[in-house]
C-alpha cells in the first residue's frame, strides 16, 4: 500500500474514499482479505491504507459476531460506479441478501467519498449511520482520523470519541 504523498500526477484527479468491510459467515478473515485483494487488482482503485480487524457483536437478529475493518482508497470510479463494483464483489464472495441486518459472507459499504454528500435511491454518502457505529468508527479512526465528516462537520477521531465501544474488540494482525 502507498501513502497519498507518494502518488504521481496521473492519479491526481482520483477521489479518496473510505469503504467498510464486514462479514460473519464462512471464514470472514479470509473473505475480507480476499475482497481487499480484489479491490487492489482493480485498475480504477488504489488501496491506500487498511485498518486492523475488529471483532464486533452483531446488530440485528441473533447471529455470530462480525469481523469488521475499513480501507481508504483512491478511485477513478464515480460514487455510483464504486457502489456497483462493491456490490459485484459482494456477489462474487457469496453474498445473498435475505433479511435486513442478517448474517452475510461479505458486506462492503461506501462510507465517505471525498467531501461529497449524496442522496439517491441506491446510495447515501456519507453512510447514514457512520457517525453512530463504533464498529465502523473504530477502524475508520485508525486509518483516517482527520477526515472531516461532511455533514457532522467533525473529524472521524472526534466522532469516534462519542460512541460506546462495548462489544468491539481490535484484533492483532
Query: Mind telling me the catalytic residues?
Result: 95, 104, 107, 109
Q: Which three cell numbers stand for residue 130?
A: 457512520
Contact (CB, 8 A) for 15 and 114: yes
Helices (DSSP H) in the chain: which residue ranges?
28-40, 79-92, 134-143, 156-160
> To 10 degrees, what angle do helices 79-92 and 28-40 make?
140
Tell me the C-alpha distance between 31 and 15, whole Å.
26
Tell me the C-alpha distance between 31 and 35, whole Å.
6
Degrees to nearest 5, angle at CA 166 with 135 and 146: 45
The set of residues, in sequence order, having a beta carbon less than 8 Å from that of 164 and lying 6+ positions away, is 134
Amino acid at each position: 500500500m502507498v501513502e497519498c504523498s507518494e502518488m504521481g500526477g496521473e492519479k491526481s484527479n482520483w477521489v479518496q474514499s473510505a469503504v467498510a468491510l464486514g462479514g460473519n459467515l464462512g471464514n470472514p478473515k479470509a473473505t475480507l482479505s480476499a475482497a481487499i485483494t480484489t479491490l487492489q487488482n482493480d485498475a480504477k482503485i488504489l488501496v491506500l491504507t487498511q485498518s486492523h480487524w475488529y471483532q464486533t457483536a452483531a446488530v440485528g437478529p441473533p447471529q455470530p459476531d462480525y469481523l469488521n475493518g475499513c480501507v481508504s482508497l483512491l478511485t477513478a470510479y464515480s460514487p455510483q460506479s464504486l457502489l456497483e463494483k462493491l456490490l459485484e464483489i459482494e456477489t462474487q464472495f457469496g453474498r445473498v441478501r435475505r433479511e435486513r441486518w442478517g448474517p452475510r459472507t461479505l458486506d462492503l459499504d461506501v462510507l465517505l467519498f471525498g467531501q461529497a454528500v449524496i442522496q439517491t435511491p441506491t446510495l447515501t454518502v456519507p453512510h447514514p449511520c457512520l457517525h453512530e457505529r463504533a464498529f465502523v468508527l473504530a477502524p475508520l479512526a485508525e486509518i483516517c482520523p482527520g477526515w472531516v465528516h461532511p455533514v457532522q462537520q467533525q473529524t472521524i477521531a472526534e466522532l469516534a470519541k462519542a460512541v460506546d465501544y462495548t462489544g468491539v474488540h481490535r484484533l492483532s494482525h
